[in-house]
């Protein structure tokens, strides 16, 4: 080991500075310097005593190599003392190192390399709980200290996560609560004979005097639409009848109606033609739903009484039925009517007697299509019980009906309206 005694000077291990020996056989005439240093005499050889002094003063005078400064800085870990801005030792004591008048440390000591080995903790990676070490500038050197451990965030109780709703193969619909009898809407179709519904009223009709006439007249027209039980009905359109079947797609049944005939006094053109008595017509009907609110229907009627037209009528029609938000109901659609020869001769023919009495030419039509046209009806509820009813029909005479000498106008238009009360 080399012992440094000053700048640029060195001595061997066996050399001891003068004044540090005590009298003895090896160094006669020397005086002990220990009392001058204020240390008691320990009875040690001078060399040993000098080494002990140097070791005692070593922490104040030994400058650590630059490569070891960072390693020794780990000894300050956890210290709450702020780094000193002046000269300090490199062991973390914080005491200033004494210097002589020349600014040199008077007791420099070289520390063995074995004693300068870096501390295991300082040379290893920072603990997992600490972030990367942060360099701090202390003025004289860079000291790297690991950040103090951070306190873990307190664990507060949390609400369990709400599981996401799983798809269900069928919609989970709660069964509807049964409605009371007062809350349920009334059944439009009665189910027994004790249940019935009647719309009864009065109105007027403005229509041609007879089929083919050019003049129109106003006449009384009753309004009735009744339903008794599930099967019985009566209305202006089909008369009185019974439903044989009634489903959401099919309605079919039997009906009877009255054809009121014709009076020769109704128009001058009918003079000499005689009267045509009323006829009771019996037949059947069917309506089939071919689309939303769209129905395809047919009516067949045969006169069954003497004195009437005695013929057969077949009518086909397409009807659209709808309802608006304010309760207004309506029906509208085209139609076509076919008539037998007996019916055509009664209304459009002229036999020999009639030709002689009226002056019209003899005319004997055959059976065929009588007319085509469009018809419709509207019902508007004024109150819970009162309804306004209105409708009309336009038809155009065809074929042998239009060629009759009794026909003055092929276009036939009739309208009607009235008010009814719902029982």
The predicted-structure confidence for 43-52, as pLDDT tens digits, reads as follows: 556 656 666 6
Task: Decide: 143 and 76 in contact? Cβ < 8 Å.
Answer: yes
**Is pLDDT of 65 > 60?**
no
**Is pLDDT of 89 > 60?**
no
Q: pLDDT > 70: what percent of the chain?
A: 54
**Is pLDDT of 90 > 70?**
no
Task: Decide: 378 and 330 in contact? Cβ < 8 Å.
Answer: yes
Over range 62-91, report the average pLDDT. Answer: 44
- The residue that leads in pLDDT, 362 or 108, is 362
Least confident of 34-43, 187-196, 303-312, 314-323: 34-43
From the CB of residue 223, how many other CB atoms can be counted at a distance below 10 Å? 20
Q: pLDDT > 90: what percent of the chain?
A: 50
Over range 406-414, report the average pLDDT. Answer: 95
Q: Which pLDDT band holds residue 113 (cuts at 50, 70, 90)?
A: low
- 272: exposed, middle or buried (Cβ count in 10 Å: 0-12, 13-18, 19+): middle
Task: Decide: 88 and 97 in contact? Cβ < 8 Å.
Answer: yes
Identify the pLDDT of residue 196.
87
- Whole-angstrom CA distances from 227 to 234, 243, 256, 370 are 7, 11, 15, 31
Q: Which pLDDT band holds residue 394 (cuts at 50, 70, 90)?
A: very high
**Is pLDDT of 132 > 90?**
no
**Considering the entire predicted model, what is its pTM?**
0.55
- H or E segment to which residue 47 belongs: helix 46-61
Over range 66-89, report the average pLDDT. Answer: 43
Residues of the chain within CATH 2.40.160.40 domain(s) are 196-422
Identify the pLDDT of residue 416.
96
Count helices and strands in the chain by DSSP H and E runs: 6, 16
The count of C-alpha atoms lying within 13 angstroms of the C-alpha of 62, restricted to the half-sphere facing its C-beta, is 21
Over range 194-208, report the average pLDDT. Answer: 91
Averaged pLDDT score across all residues of the chain: 74
Identify the pLDDT of residue 419.
96
**Is pLDDT of 243 > 80?**
yes
**Is pLDDT of 417 > 90?**
yes
Strands (E), 260-311: 279-291, 294-303
Instruction: Name the CATH code of domain 196-422 (choices 2.60.40.2550, 2.40.160.40, 3.40.50.1110, 3.40.30.10).
Output: 2.40.160.40
Task: Decide: 73 and 83 in contact? Cβ < 8 Å.
Answer: no
Over range 94-109, report the average pLDDT. Answer: 51
Q: Phi and psi (nearest 5°) for 155? A: -85, 110
**Is pLDDT of 140 > 50?**
no
């Amino acid at each position: 080991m080399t012992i440094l005694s000053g700048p640029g000077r060195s001595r061997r291990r066996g050399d001891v500075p003068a004044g540090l020996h005590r009298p003895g056989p090896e160094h006669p005439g020397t005086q002990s310097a220990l009392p001058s240093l204020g240390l008691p005499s320990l009875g040690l050889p001078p060399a040993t005593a000098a080494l002990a002094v140097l070791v005692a003063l070593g922490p104040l005078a030994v400058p650590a190599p630059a490569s070891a400064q960072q390693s020794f800085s780990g000894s300050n870990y956890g210290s709450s003392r702020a780094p000193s801005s002046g000269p300090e030792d490199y062991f973390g004591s914080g005491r200033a190192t004494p210097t002589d008048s020349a600014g040199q440390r008077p007791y420099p000591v070289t520390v063995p390399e074995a004693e300068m080995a870096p501390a295991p903790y300082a040379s290893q990676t920072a603990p997992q709980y600490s972030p990367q070490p942060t360099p701090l500038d202390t003025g004289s050197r860079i000291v790297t200290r690991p950040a103090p451990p951070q306190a873990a965030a307190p664990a507060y109780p949390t609400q369990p996560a709400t599981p996401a709703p799983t798809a269900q193969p069928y919609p989970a619909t709660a069964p509807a609560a049964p409605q009371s009898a007062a809350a349920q809407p009334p059944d439009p179709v009665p189910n027994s004979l004790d249940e019935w519904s009647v719309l009864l009223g009065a109105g007027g009709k403005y229509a041609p005097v007879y089929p083919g006439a050019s003049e129109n007249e106003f006449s009384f027209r009753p309004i009735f639409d009744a339903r008794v039980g599930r099967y019985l009905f009566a209305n202006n359109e089909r008369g009185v009848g019974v439903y044989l079947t009634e489903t959401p797609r099919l309605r079919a049944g039997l009906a009877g109606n009255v054809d009121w005939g014709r009076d020769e006094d109704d128009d001058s053109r009918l003079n000499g033609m005689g009267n045509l008595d009323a006829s009771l017509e019996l037949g059947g009907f069917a309506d089939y739903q071919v689309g939303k609110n769209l129905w395809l229907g047919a009516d067949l009627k045969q006169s069954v009484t003497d004195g009437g037209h005695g013929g057969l009528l077949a009518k086909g029609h397409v009807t659209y039925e709808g309802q608006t938000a304010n309760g207004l109901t309506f029906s509208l659609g085209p139609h076509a009517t076919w008539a037998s020869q007996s019916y055509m001769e009664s209304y459009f023919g002229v036999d020999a007697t009639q030709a002689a009495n009226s002056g019209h030419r003899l005319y004997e039509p055959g059976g065929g299509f009588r007319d085509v046209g469009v018809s419709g009806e509207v019902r508007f509820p004024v109150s819970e019980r009162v309804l306004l009813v209105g409708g009309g029909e336009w038809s155009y005479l065809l074929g042998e009906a239009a060629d009759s000498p009794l026909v003055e106008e092929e276009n036939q238009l009739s309208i009607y309206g009235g008010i009814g009360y719902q029982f």
